[in-house]
Structures are given as C-alpha cells and as structure tokens.
Amino acid sequence: MKKCIFCIVLLFSSISFFAQDFSNDFKNVEQKVIEWRRHFHKNPELSNREFNTAKKIAAHLKSLGIETQENVAKTGVVGILKGSKKGKVVALRADIDALPVTERNDLPFKSNVTSKYLGKDVGVMHACGHDTHIAILMGVAEVLAKNKKYIKGTVKFIFQPAEEGAPEGEEGGAELMVKEGVLKNPDVDAIFGLHIASGFDVGTISYKPGGIMAASQSFKIKVKGKQSHGSRPWTSIDPIMISAKIIDGLQTIVSREIDLTNEGAVITVGKIDSGVRSNIIPESAEMIGTIRTLDYGMQKQINDRMKEMVPAIAKSYRAEATIEIEKGYPITFNDVDLTQKVLPTLQRVAGTNNVKEIKAITGAEDFSFFQKEVPGFYFFLGGKTVGNDNPYPHHTPDFIIDEKGMQLGVETMTNLALDFLNN
C-alpha cells in the first residue's frame, strides 16, 4: 500500500513539475504569440492558397531545429520534434486558412486583403480565429523545442490548410492530409486540437466527450424554368419563386420530420444566384447551402428527403430541379477514454472551475477526419472580449477575440502533449 501511495505522489509531482518548470517559457513566448497572431490576422489567405502563411510557419519551426515538412496537402506544414527518449507519438493541430469576409472594425492590424472567391471579388479575413490557432501552436512548438529533454516520445505539429473547405474542384484540408499520410511515419497515437470561441469567457476551457461538433455537408440545387418578360409572368416558369418554395419546403424537413429530441439538425441555404435585371424573369436559379447533423441516421434521413423533395416541388410548378449533396465532414467525436484521461490536465492548467462540459454544437470541423483514424480530443478555448454580453459570431465581419485568451491555449496544448507522452 505504501508503495502505491508513493507512486501516486511521484506521478502528481511529475505532472506539477512540468507546469512549474515551463512557467518562464510560457511568459517569454506570450508576446510573440500575440505578434504572430496580429501578423496572420493582417495577412490572411484563403483555403489552399496559404502560401505566405505556410512560409512563416515553416521558417519558425526550422529556427527551432524542428524537422519540417512543407507543401503537405498543398500548403500545409508539419513539424516533427523528437524527445530525449523513445515513446509514443502525439499530434497537435492548428488550421491556417481564412474566410471570404470583409473585415469591419478599427483594429490596427485589420485585414485589407482582397481576393476572388466563386468568381467574385471579396475581402479576406480571419473571421473564425484560425490566426490565433496558428500563433498558439507556434508558441507551443517554441516551448517544447526548448525543453525537448523532458519529452519521452515525439510531437507532431500539424498546421493544416483548407479547414473551411477546399476551392471547388480541389482536394484539401484534413481529409487530404490523412490521405497523404500525415498520421504515419511516425504513427500518431493521439491528436489534440482547439478552437478559440468568441462566446466563451477568457480563461475557460469547454469540452464534451463523444460528439462535440456536427457533421457538415454542402449541397447545390439547380432549378430550370422558362424565361419571360417581367410583365408577363404567366408566360414564364419562374425559377426564383420556385426556389423560394424549395427553401420553405426544406425547412419543414427539420421542423416536421426530424426527431429533434434525439439530436439537433440544421438546413441552411447560404446563397442564391439568379437573374440579371428587374424586368426579366430568368430561366434558371442556383442555390448552395449546408446540412448539419449530430447523428448519422438523421443525416441519411435528411439527405434522402431532400433528394425526394427538391425535384418534386419543382415539378409541381412545371420546372425541373436537381440536387447534389457532398460527402462533407464527419461528426467531430472526442474519444471517450482519452477525454477522461486528459480531464485532470485541463483542470490543473485552467483550474477546475474553469473547465466546463457543454452540449454539442452544430458547427463543424474537419479535425473529425483525424479522429476517424486515431483517438482525438478537441476543445474550445475562451476568447470573449471583456464586457461584451453579445459577442459577434464567428464568420462575421465584426468577429473579434480577446488576445489574453491565447496564453491558456499555449499552456494547455503543451501540457496535454507532455502528460500524454510522459504519463
């Protein structure tokens, strides 16, 4: 019994040692993390086009003496840090792409970058916080590289492009990284990832065992009608009116056919393209949107009903309609056993009262492709600005986070890696 007690004391002493020993390193890297974040925020790049972002990441990893692989899944960067002793392999992931959103705030490092997306001129903005994810993981890499003598095993730093989805007709993101073998050579035993959250308080960590984020699918609907003069609608088959009826019908799938006491589900049309001027009823219309589900049975039910409903509604108005639904992202699923094992680490680093279990959300993450291959754990890092009772949502022009929240991200990811490898 005394021997068992001694082992427990030794284990917790070892865990505490890591946090205390690295405290100065955490402090020293904090301002660098903020500066990196501001650089990436001011210079965002769209999915599969993160060329300069990748160059800066790779240069940093090389400066730390970390083995660096470039052009992974087009623009991804992977760093491999081997510890002083052989052991397991843990991967830490950050996504690096920005969004086609025009920034609307007065930050001194505001993005004024523009690009083309779906054939249109758009602003480019880190409107989902990926700039913070990059900076946090660069900070973790610096801390661990300086202390690799304490690492038993290997750390893989995965800087992943195209989390928001590859451009049309291209592969990309976590799925392509997995396809190219990013979890192999050396084989990864577990993977960790985080997401800054503008709606959660700074200093907090939010998590959920099992499904934490929804599966996501994109869909495209094409409606073919008959063109006519706007003054003579009776000689037309109006694709715009029919599109409105289709949108209305799709919403009844969720509100009237899906058992929402099981899990949540969402169908959203995000874009309609049709017509050229006010007095012409056009010949065709096109819609794109997203489906979010937290249960694969519900996903199939929604997919099947959409495929039935869309052409049927169009036919009832003498039009034709087709629908294409992409495979999309799987459910982001936190391995239950791994979640239980890492919970003490989260509580030690952030404080027990600051670690909160939440319900699943209908946002989606292609981190799920990594989790399909190896046990993974994904959590939310608080980033809400002080005094903001109505924080701006992610993917909006006014999105903003409090940079003070990033330091906890560096400390948490560092300790997750060390505790997994050493204990």
Average pLDDT, the chain: 95
Q: CA nearest 400: which of 385, 415, 381?
A: 385
Residue 7: predicted pLDDT? 46
Angle between helix 130-146 and 23-42 (nearest 10): 150
For residues 135 and 34, membership in a common domain is answered with: yes
End-to-end Cα, the chain, rounded Å:
21
Whether pLDDT at 261 is above 50? yes
Give the tens place of pLDDT for each residue, 214-247: 999 999 999 999 999 999 999 999 999 999 999 9
Asked whether residue 269 is assigned to any structural domain, the reply reads yes
Residue 423: predicted pLDDT? 82
Is there a catalytic annotation at residue 117?
A: no
Give the tens place of pLDDT for each residue, 153-170: 999 999 999 999 999 899
For residues 70 and 96, membership in a common domain is answered with: yes
pLDDT more than 70, % of the chain: 95
Beta bridge partners of 281: 228
Average pLDDT over residues 22-47: 97
| Local confidence band at 111 (pLDDT 50, 70, 90 cut-offs) | very high
Is there a catalytic annotation at residue 403?
A: yes
How far from 346 is each of 207, 288, 417, CA to CA, in Å? 10, 39, 12
CA–CA separation, 142 and 180 (whole Å): 26
Average pLDDT over residues 185-206: 98
Asked whether residue 22 is assigned to any structural domain, the reply reads yes
Asked whether residue 352 is assigned to any structural domain, the reply reads no
Give the tens place of pLDDT for each residue, 348-377: 999 999 999 999 999 999 999 999 999 999
Both tokens of 391, joined, read: 């924080």
Q: Which of 142, 175, 207, 329 is catalytic?
A: 329
Last residue of a domain, one of 309, 325, 341: 325
Whether pLDDT at 142 is above 50? yes
For residues 96 and 234, membership in a common domain is answered with: no
User: Residue 399 sits in which domain range?
Assistant: 2-208+358-422
Residue 201: predicted pLDDT? 96
Predicted structure pTM score: 0.90
Q: How far is CA 114 from the centre of its chain?
A: 22
Asked whether residue 330 is assigned to any structural domain, the reply reads no
For residues 135 and 59, membership in a common domain is answered with: yes
| Local confidence band at 61 (pLDDT 50, 70, 90 cut-offs) | very high
For residues 397 and 317, membership in a common domain is answered with: no
Domain count of the fold of the chain: 2
Residue 13: predicted pLDDT? 40
Residue 159: predicted pLDDT? 99
Whether pLDDT at 39 is above 70? yes
Asked whether residue 350 is assigned to any structural domain, the reply reads no
Place of tokens 């990832």: 193
Q: Which of 142, 163, 164, 403 is catalytic?
A: 403
For residues 320 and 224, membership in a common domain is answered with: yes
Whether pLDDT at 19 is above 80? no
For residues 378 and 271, membership in a common domain is answered with: no
Residue 386: predicted pLDDT? 85
Residue 387: predicted pLDDT? 85
Q: What is the 3-state secondary structure (H, E, C) of the chain?
A: CHHHHHHHHHHHHHHHHHHHHCHHHHHHHHHHHHHHHHHHHHCCCCCCCCHHHHHHHHHHHHHCCCEEEEEECCCEEEEEEECCEEEEEEEEEEECCCECCCCCCCCCCCCCCEEEECCEEEECECCCCHHHHHHHHHHHHHHHHHCHHHCEEEEEEEEECCCCCCCCCCCCHHHHHHHCCCCCCCCCCEEEEEEEEEEEECCCEEECCEEEEEEEEEEEEEEECECEECCCHHHCECHHHHHHHHHHHHHHHHHHHCCCCCCCEEEEEEEEECCCCCCEECCEEEEEEEEEECCHHHHHHHHHHHHHHHHHHHHHCCCEEEEEECCCECCEEECHHHHHHHHHHHHHHHCHHHEEECCCEEEECCCHHHHCCCCEEEEEEEEECCCCCCCCCCCCCCCCCCHHHHHHHHHHHHHHHHHHHHC
Give the tens place of pLDDT for each residue, 307-323: 999 999 999 999 999 99
Asked whether residue 278 is assigned to any structural domain, the reply reads yes
Residue 4: predicted pLDDT? 47
Residue 118: predicted pLDDT? 87
